[in-house]
Amino acid sequence: MNYPNGIKKDNINKNITYKNRGMNLENDLNITNNYYIENNIAFIYKKPTPIQVVKASYNESGNRVIKEAYYKEPSTTDYNGIYKGYYIDFEAKETKNKQGFPLNNIHPHQIKHLRNILSQQGICFLIIRFTSLNETYLIKADDFIFFIDNKKKSIMGLDYIKEKGYIIKEKLLKRLDYLEIVDKIWRLL
Amino acid sequence: MNYPNGIKKDNINKNITYKNRGMNLENDLNITNNYYIENNIAFIYKKPTPIQVVKASYNESGNRVIKEAYYKEPSTTDYNGIYKGYYIDFEAKETKNKQGFPLNNIHPHQIKHLRNILSQQGICFLIIRFTSLNETYLIKADDFIFFIDNKKKSIMGLDYIKEKGYIIKEKLLKRLDYLEIVDKIWRLL
């Protein structure tokens, strides 16, 4: 097979892989959280996706094998943990939308959870990536909740997110160093 | 079929069900945590068990069905959340052993996690139920870690747990009201 400009197939594949990796918010947050963990900065983990097991059995090695299971709707946010002694809780979402963040991306259970965590003075926020703009924002949960309670809209506009939120710049090791922004907002320095 | 003392079969079954339910630590903690959540006391959840999905497909309704998956070893403790603004983190284990708590019940990853949370001043402990004694104890993570680091034993003896730990009495609504003990130990009143 021939490729334009004499580019070898290997190089094309490498580029594609790297680009996809950079585009995936969950993967970026994994890299970031692992950096935090390995350097004893914070211990924040993504919760496993809850599943409903319907059928399971044991295989020849005596290990349990799940044969039929379904994904369940999570009742909390995906990420939580501890940083400088503080409770940290957030949800991370990607959207292809260029106008803003469609609110149906967050389940009612999760909105209730954000309210609960705020009522306990937890450090609580959303990380939203606009994949088509290649921009990632952190917005405090109280600004998000304020929008839901006061604006009767199905999309949280990019203008509101730019006004209230903070852009997270990509770095090499701490891929998405969101705790730098947490330090500033909550004055944890 | 005849039962002694004129007891009907239905009643026997009810008793067995109730007894089994009372014996299950995870279920008791679910009831307790739900009570805390519904009364806005604390927001503490059990993390879903992590699984490795090998095969998945879509069914006729367009839902994703997991066709082959395996349980993975958890890298953190099972429970975490927030209480009075503090980060709470614990592991809950049952043992049939009457002499003490066999240390191989806790994975090395989980011990590392307990050390990490302690380094961040998180409120961190174990809840251990001795099913054959029908007793449940809370022991602080630092007393557990001290035992691991200083005693060269494979079982944490019941005498040590009774000396350092706190018995959790069963209640009706707040089935296992462990936060009452957390209040006392960490002086959160």
Kindly report the three-state secondary structure assignment for every residue of chain B. CCCHHHCCHHHHHHHHHHHHHHHCHHHHHHHHHHHHHHCCCEEEEECCCCEEEEEEEECCCCCEEEEEEEECCCCCCCEEEEECCEEEEEEEEEECCCCEEEHHHCCHHHHHHHHHHHHCCCEEEEEEEECCCCEEEEEEHHHHHHHHHHCCCCEEEHHHHHHHCEECCECCCCCECHHHHHHHHHCCC
Vertex B7, ends B1 and B9: CA angle to 5°? 50
CA distance B65 to B81: 30
Look at strands A123-130 and A86-95 and give their pairing. parallel
Q: Which two tokens stand for residue B185?
A: 């130990």
Q: Which two tokens stand for residue B17?
A: 């069900």
Instruction: Strand A64-71: give its sheet, edge to edge.
Output: A51-58, A64-71, B64-71, B51-58
What confidence score (pLDDT) does residue B9 get?
42
Min Cα–Cα distance to chain A from B83, Å: 7
Q: Is the dihedral of CA A84, A80, A124, B184 positive or negative?
A: negative
- Mean pLDDT of all residues in chain B? 89
Which of the residues A43, A73, A83 would you substitute to probe the B interface, choosing the one with the greatest number of B C-beta atoms within 10 Å? A43
Q: Looking at the complex, does the CB of residue A119 fall below 8 Å from at least one CB of chain B?
A: yes
The closest alpha carbon to A121, from A141, A138, A136, belongs to A141
Contact A47 B49 (CB under 8 A): no
Domains of chain A: 25-47+74-186 (3.40.1350.10)
Which of the residues A64, A65, A66, A73 would you substitute to probe the B interface, choosing the one with the greatest number of B C-beta atoms within 10 Å? A66
CA distance A42 to A34: 9
CA distance B115 to B122: 10
A48: nearest CB among B42, B48, B87: B48
The pLDDT tens digits along chain A (189 residues) read 344 444 444 443 444 344 444 459 999 999 999 999 999 999 999 999 999 999 999 988 888 999 999 999 888 999 999 999 999 999 999 999 999 999 999 999 999 999 999 999 999 999 999 999 999 999 999 999 999 999 989 999 999 999 999 999 999 889 999 999 999 999 997
- Place B23 in a pLDDT band, splitting at 50, 70 and 90: low
Min Cα–Cα distance to chain A from B81, Å: 8
ipTM: 0.86
In chain B, what residues touch A66 (CB-CB under 8 Å)?
Answer: 51, 66, 68-71
Contact B67 A68 (CB under 8 A): yes
% residues pLDDT > 90 (chain B)? 80
A87 contacts A80 by C-beta, under 8 angstroms: yes
B131 contacts B137 by C-beta, under 8 angstroms: no
What confidence score (pLDDT) does residue B46 get?
96
What is the total residue count of chain B? 189
Q: Letter for the amino acid at B169?
A: K
Q: Is the pLDDT of residue B7 over 80?
A: no
Encode pLDDT of B73-114 as tens digits: 888 999 999 999 999 999 999 999 999 999 999 999 999 999
What confidence score (pLDDT) does residue B10 get?
42
Q: Is the pLDDT of residue B18 over 70?
A: no
CA distance B123 to B182: 8
CA distance A124 to A79: 10
The closest alpha carbon to B142, from B185, B87, B93, B84, belongs to B185
Q: Looking at the complex, does the CB of residue A188 fall below 8 Å from at least one CB of chain B?
A: no
What confidence score (pLDDT) does residue B173 get?
85
Encode pLDDT of B140-187 as tens digits: 999 999 999 999 899 999 999 999 999 999 998 899 999 999 999 999
